[in-house]
Amino acid sequence: MTFSANLALAIPELILAIGALSLLVVGAFAPAQTRMVGWASVLVLLGATVATATQPFGVAFSGALISDAAATFAKAAIYLASAVVIPLAQPWFERRGVKVFEFPILVLLAALGMGMMVSAGDLISLYIGIELQSLALYVLAAMHRDNAKASEAGLKYFVLGALSSGLLLYGASLIYGFAGSTHFSEIAQAAGAPENTGLLFGLVFLICGIAFKVSAAPFHMWTPDVYEGAPTPIVAFFAAAPKLAAMVLFARVLGEGFATAAGQWQQILVIMAMASVAVGAFAGLVQSNLKRLWAYSSIANIGYAVLGLSSGTTEGAQAMLMFMVLYMIDVTGFFACLAALSRGGRSMETLQDMAGLIKERPAIALAMTVFALSALGLPPFSGFFGKYYVFKAALDAGLWGPAVFGLVGSVVAAFYYLKLIKVMWFDPSPGATDKPPVEANMIALTSALFAFPVVIVALHSLDVLAERAARALGLA
């Protein structure tokens, strides 16, 4: 395959890389032009989305980069989610006197890393993609430098992220040592051999490293602290696109590299899914800070996505993709609501702050109600359809016990979602809220429309695209 043909399959990544480097130079010479750099970054992400949707399928750079339906589906969702966070976060920073042109550039670099993750065809490109994304996210977590909590969040994320990278590299080195190759296709041949115990040890460490990135239990310890300390719009980014990228990478590694060892890794994923649902459901009950509460909610929801993947089937991968995209809309909209709310110049982040919100800001209160009910999985909101697909895939694969456990976890988690709704609708307001910024208000309300039954209109198209993407991941 010629070098130009290889580059043709990497056009979205090239657009992001060249765009990020060019805007870095612009920002260095004109640091006051933060808004211009931000909107230019949005255009770069939209350009990468168009390039992703129109590029051909194939394998580039000797199998290191894969362009297929799964990569196209995931990249389009990731780039759009990344584009949304820039107009949400930049005004938020400016209102707090923080003007940093580096923010949108870091989002571009994180999106580049996530694009490489979902297109990874071997262990080297997998690791480069994960680290490029992670290093950008560490800095983003601490972007509000004058805030001690944000600096603490960035430090915790970095230290624990280094631990996960160590696990990931150790697992990758074991897999390479026993398989004799870093390519998923050649690893699959070695995994099918009877003497593959060492390879499975490597896979366990690899799963642990990726599980950290999606904050699946018992590798979730960083999530509540980082969510609480990081700037609210940055948390909207953390909780959406990186999780989808890591889950697609998860599916690709298991489907293309270890499909013949499905009986072994399925057990690990089932335990991880049940642990995530339990931790997210029960630990969330005692939270009063909404960012910590939603962190535990995200842990539980990742448990449902892992449950879909643990079925080891194309239907399960399709359910995971559907669930993650619908969840991305809910979580982005919820944190956009939090970013829009303040009282006396102070961010509103606790349950008590939301008291009487329906009287002060009825549109935002209604949107938050929609997001809470959708995350709960109540019909006819989008979260219901996400969980429906996941439970159906688990039941079809014979995972009755884990499916029932997940359903019980949803019932337990309903308490804190309904508690938030009760506080917003029925408790007396402690005082008037500030006028919400236009950008955050629009993103929150638009997301609510997609989480509301309006999403049913587009659900069939999303189902078709997810099915096509799932078939490309190599699961049975």
- The pairing of strands 342-343 and 65-67 is unpaired
Average pLDDT estimate for 460-476: 77
> Which class for 106: exposed (0-12), middle (13-18), buried (19 or more C-beta within 10 A)?
buried
- The pairing of strands 65-67 and 58-60 is antiparallel
Question: What pLDDT sits at residue 179?
Answer: 87
In this predicted structure, the answer to whether residue 107 has a pLDDT above a threshold of 90 is yes
In this predicted structure, the answer to whether residue 247 has a pLDDT above a threshold of 90 is yes
Joined together, the tokens standing for residue 300 give 């539980």
Q: What is the pTM of this model?
A: 0.93
Mean pLDDT is lowest, of 132-136, 172-176, 194-198, for: 194-198
> Which class for 264: exposed (0-12), middle (13-18), buried (19 or more C-beta within 10 A)?
middle
d(Cα 79, Cα 112) in Å, to the nearest integer? 9
> Which class for 355: exposed (0-12), middle (13-18), buried (19 or more C-beta within 10 A)?
buried
Please write the tens of the pLDDT for every residue from 264-314: 888 999 999 999 999 999 998 988 899 999 999 999 999 999 999 998 888
HSE on the CB side for 402, CA within 13 Å?
31
Which segments of 180-240 does DSSP mark as H helices, in order?
184-191, 197-214, 223-229, 232-238
Please write the tens of the pLDDT for every residue from 390-420: 999 999 988 899 999 999 999 999 999 999 9
CB contact at 8 A, 191 and 160: no
d(Cα 143, Cα 229) in Å, to the nearest integer? 11
d(Cα 23, Cα 44) in Å, to the nearest integer? 10
In this predicted structure, the answer to whether residue 453 has a pLDDT above a threshold of 60 is no
SS3 label, residue 289: strand
CB contact at 8 A, 469 and 73: yes
Higher-pLDDT residue of 172 and 146 is 172
CB contact at 8 A, 448 and 370: yes
Which segments of 341-361 does DSSP mark as H helices, in order?
357-360
Measure Cα distances from 184 to 167, 179, 188, 235, 252 in Å. 19, 10, 6, 32, 9
Question: What pLDDT sits at residue 43?
Answer: 95
CB contact at 8 A, 117 and 147: no
What is the domain partition of the chain in residue ranges?
1-257, 260-476
Mean pLDDT is lowest, of 24-33, 116-125, 137-146, 449-458, for: 449-458
The enclosing H or E element of 89 equals: helix 69-95
